[in-house]
A and B are shown apart, each in its own frame.
Chain A
């Protein structure tokens, strides 16, 4: 098979300050003069978003690209779609490329749905003839037949989204680059999109798909590339790479999680979670948690300000990124009026942790009233659940039985009847 995409030692450097902050001609002139007087005075700080990335993707491959926020995935996509140029290295792409970094790029409020389809289609590289030929199919896919000649400023955000994806789903490029567009829309529409993606795969097109949704990546891709710190960390079979990626979140584990060194955190930061300690009911630290254990999770925090009505919570995900459960103190109405500046902790008692044995990824957060987070640590640790004799049968349970273990009993509800007797009562 021929190569669709070849990258050789591709690197990209961004100058800090240049990208974020707006430059004025006046500053440049001043700096230039200053440079003349003192040539060693000026240095620009720069970061390498990508470093020596080499890849070969064959025609017809559907490749997933995964990695943490800021790992360089978006930069890679932008280079592949020719939006930005690499600082160094060679990029070779054969065939027509369409990149979908956003749904409905270039939509204009004043134009009608039909006009926007034509405009958006040609922005994505379709010819006018192609768009017009596909118009009915696009409109039907989006389900906006009634409003197609209405300016899209009257559309709901859902309609806009559907129309944008409908155009994208009817693209016919050789190489398709997709960034997280599936992360939006209602469940029904997402299903439709996934089906459209299936269609793309069977059509034998080359697809590069960036997502945080591991289930979607696993479902669609035959190969996965894991980008970490601007480099290719792993490249191979979907399942292997996803598992390695998910388990990397809990590298170097202790009982409980020391969170002081976690850098990948968001939120206002008036209070930070410092650690999550795992204990049994007598507050003795534990290293091993088994299915069905009674567990205490101690959220330790450091507050810089008084926080009213804080909400502490934990989310538990599977290794493939599916949310299994969330536990927070808002759900149970265990309101905390405020926490004072300083260090402190709050204990979460879990009656019995009925997770099947396996590895789970954990997200912790400290929120306040409203959607505001003080601290949000995505996938900051791994919870290892060991097998136990949960059903007291001596059989033990394993991860192949699923994710959750239900407390259950089998009972003979009615007396056992003979076949003849049941026939009689049934008639």
Chain B
């Protein structure tokens, strides 16, 4: 117990370094100025356009009355944050090996700062969502206020999973190759291309086990007055996310004692 308290106190003492790492990541990423920001906007936009053409127009998957562009885009912004950031979280320890072997600081601030710095892209993406709403003349109700909370939930989920992946990557180098594959599967078992309501009842229960399902569905529902928020589904996601955070932290703390020797 005492060890836990001192661990959190140590974390608090190093909060500035945590911001600095996040700031460094952001700064370095946008150092190539124009191209950097353009990329952040283009990636979800182009993916969205492909989805609209492929799944909306050609395959005509149902979107429950939401305009196709908005339907895909509101799911793609959180998904791209999740997939990119999780991969970077997983590599955050290995790519900072020189720091791990030379200086002490609470190791967990490396994946945490990655999860934080990814938010900049997310916020830029959110601005475009507002643009889309204006374009389709959709006036969201008070549920849009959930957006920041969902963002926070997503960051916690990514950070929790990121810690586990990062600790595993230090020990087992092949985890690095498995991660992109797992993320690719994630794209299909999360309601991004489709809506949860268009899935037959018996498979829906399986999808609910994916904590991202509730979060992405809620992102969509928070914007469109036509959709209602499935509180039960969101509740499941919150419980799963909290569990992953706790399990991730415990796992990470157990593993961190040997990071400097293994990395």
Contact = CB atoms under 8 A, between A and B. Distances in A.
Interface of A: 14, 18-19, 22-26, 28, 78, 81-85, 97, 99, 101-102, 105-106, 108, 110-111, 115, 118-119, 122-124, 127-128
A25 B103 contact: no
Interface in B152-169: 168
B261 A14 contact: yes
Main secondary structure of the interface of A (DSSP, over half): loop
B173 A105 contact: no
A25 B104 contact: no
A99 B173 contact: no
Given A78-B260, A108-B24, A111-B28, A22 B173 contact: yes
A18 B103 CA distance: 21
A19 B262 contact: yes
A99 B103 contact: yes
Interface stretch (B93-101, B189-197, B220-228): B93-101
A25 B174 CA distance: 6
Contact of B172 (A23, A106, A110, A118): A23
Given A22-B173, A108-B24, A108-B28, A85 B100 contact: no
A29 to B, nearest CB: 10
Contacts of A19: 261-262
29 contacts: A23-B171, A23-B173, A23-B262, A24-B172, A25-B174, A25-B175, A25-B178, A28-B172, A81-B104, A82-B104, A83-B100, A83-B103, A84-B261, A97-B104, A101-B102, A102-B102, A105-B99, A105-B103, A106-B98, A110-B27, A115-B24, A118-B20, A122-B17, A122-B20, A123-B17, A123-B20, A123-B99, A123-B105, A128-B16
A105 B20 contact: no
Interface in B89-131: 98-105
Nearest to B25: A108
A361 to B, nearest CB: 30
Given A23-B173, A24-B172, A124-B103, A83 B260 contact: yes
Contacts of A99: 102-104
A123 B16 CA distance: 9
Given A83-B101, A84-B260, A111 B172 contact: no
Given A25-B175, A119-B20, A111 B27 contact: yes
* Candidate in B24, B31, B98, B168 with the most chain A CB atoms within 10 angstroms: B24
A62 to B, nearest CB: 21
B205 interface: no
Contacts of A24: 172-174
B257 interface: yes
Nearest to A126: B16
Interface of B: 16-17, 20, 24, 27-28, 31, 98-105, 168, 171-175, 178, 257-258, 260-262
A83 B263 CA distance: 12
Given A25-B172, A111-B24, 18 more contacts: A18-B262, A23-B173, A24-B173, A24-B174, A78-B260, A84-B258, A99-B103, A101-B103, A105-B98, A106-B98, A108-B24, A108-B28, A110-B27, A111-B28, A115-B27, A123-B20, A123-B103, A128-B16
Contacts of A105: 98-99, 102-103
A123 B178 CA distance: 31
A110 B100 CA distance: 21
**Highest count of chain B CB atoms <10 Å: which of A25, A78, A99, A102:** A25
Nearest to B18: A122
Contact of B102 (A22, A83, A127): A83
A99 B16 CA distance: 18
What are the nearest 9 A-B pairs in CB distance? A25-B172, A82-B104, A84-B260, A85-B257, A24-B174, A105-B102, A22-B173, A110-B31, A101-B102
A274 to B, nearest CB: 37
A91 B17 CA distance: 25
Contacts of A28: 172
A25 B168 CA distance: 9
Nearest to B27: A111
A50 to B, nearest CB: 13
B262 A26 contact: no
Nearest to B10: A82
Contacts of A81: 103-104
B24 A119 contact: yes
A119 B103 CA distance: 13
A18 B257 CA distance: 15
Contacts of B24: 108, 111, 115, 119
B157 to A, nearest CB: 23
Nearest to A49: B261
A82 B102 CA distance: 10
B99 A106 contact: yes
A23 B31 CA distance: 35
Contacts of B173: 22-24
B30 to A, nearest CB: 10
Instruction: Give the most central of B168, B258, B261: most A CB within 10 Å.
Output: B261
Nearest to A22: B173
A124 to B, nearest CB: 7
Contacts of A122: 16-17, 20
Contacts of A18: 261-262
Nearest to A102: B102
Nearest to B100: A83
Contacts of B31: 110
Contacts of A25: 168, 172, 174-175, 178
Contacts of A84: 258, 260-261
Contacts of A23: 171-173, 262
A101 B178 CA distance: 34
Nearest to B259: A84
Contacts of A78: 101, 260
B146 to A, nearest CB: 34
A26 B174 contact: yes
A97 B10 CA distance: 13
Nearest to B21: A119
A127 B261 contact: no
A2 to B, nearest CB: 20
A422 B101 CA distance: 72
A78 B100 CA distance: 11
Contacts of A14: 261
